[in-house]
């Protein structure tokens, strides 16, 4: 090197900053979500505002097991697999995949729909932690099917409580508490709050769903998958008549 050549110091790679919690943004999004449970973009806004480093911690927990490490190494995008309707149609009746296919068809929901909504709020980063976050996002309706929670307002509230127990992402807890408080004003009295609490308890008792190989589970009978994951029936949720589950979080 020439003695007069300038020395360029190597720069330290930029570290990923832990997002600061934005309570005001989260509260506004929650209010809009409680007025319209189908305002899915508000869910992602709450996640962005409150989740902090929970996704990063979940990813490192995934790496702590051999099976989780394998999933992270392969880095399969779950939304792509779940969007293959022709493949899902080959799965046996009563399997997780067949029930998932019927569930999403009946509810008019698709994996790509969640992708499109989330991309309006969160950046689709090329980073393993972002991949882990996408994996949880894309398995949301699989969690609906395996837990037995429907797409009605009570089912969604129970599932977010379950999801908080599983992920420790504060955004889920924020939504669950908001839904529980508002359910007290429901026109028909039902054990809504107890059902939401049950969702949290079931999430704590179950195996850790983010580490499951969902593609391998899809061909298996749903009853076997539930047994493998330690998912007992959602007794309180199921005790509430279906026609009243949509009233759990009244509008207005």
**pLDDT 10s digits, 98-135:** 999 999 999 998 877 777 766 655 556 778 898 999 99
Structure confidence at residue 109 (pLDDT): 87
What residues in the chain have per-residue pLDDT under 70?
1-18, 117-124, 251-252
- pTM for the predicted model, two decimal places: 0.89
- Average pLDDT over the chain, rounded to an integer: 89
CA 172 to chain centre: 9
As a whole number of angstroms, the distance between CA 229 and CA 224 comes to 9
b/e sequence 220-239, b meaning 16+ C-beta within 10 Å: bebeebbeebebeebebbee
Structure confidence at residue 113 (pLDDT): 74
Within the chain, where are the H helices? 23-35, 40-50, 54-63, 66-74, 78-82, 85-88, 96-107, 111-119, 128-138, 140-147, 153-167, 170-183, 192-205, 214-217, 222-229, 235-239, 242-245
How long, in residues, is the chain? Answer: 252
């Amino acid at each position: 090197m020439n003695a007069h050549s300038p020395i360029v110091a190597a720069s330290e790679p930029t570290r990923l900053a832990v997002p600061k919690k934005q309570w005001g943004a989260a509260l506004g999004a929650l209010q809009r979500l409680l007025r319209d449970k189908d305002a899915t973009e508000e869910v992602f806004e709450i996640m962005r505002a409150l989740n902090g480093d929970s996704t990063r911690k979940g990813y490192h927990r995934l790496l702590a097991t051999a099976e989780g490490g394998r999933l992270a190494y392969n880095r399969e995008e779950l939304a792509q697999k779940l969007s293959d309707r022709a493949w899902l149609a080959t799965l046996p009746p009563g399997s997780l995949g067949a029930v998932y296919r019927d569930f999403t068809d009946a509810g008019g929901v698709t994996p790509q729909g969640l992708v499109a909504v989330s991309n309006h709020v969160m950046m689709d980063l090329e980073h393993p932690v972002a991949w882990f976050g996408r994996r949880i996002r894309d398995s949301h309706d699989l969690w609906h099917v395996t837990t037995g929670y429907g797409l009605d307002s009570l089912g969604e509230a129970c599932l977010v409580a379950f999801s908080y127990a599983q992920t420790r992402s504060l955004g889920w807890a924020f939504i669950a508490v908001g839904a529980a408080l508002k359910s007290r004003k429901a026109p028909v009295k039902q054990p809504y709050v107890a059902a939401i609490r049950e969702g949290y308890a079931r999430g704590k008792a179950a195996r850790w769903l983010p580490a499951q190989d969902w593609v391998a589970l899809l061909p298996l009978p749903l009853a076997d998958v539930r047994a493998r994951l330690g998912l007992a029936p959602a007794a309180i949720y199921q005790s509430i008549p279906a026609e009243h589950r949509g009233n759990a979080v009244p509008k207005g």
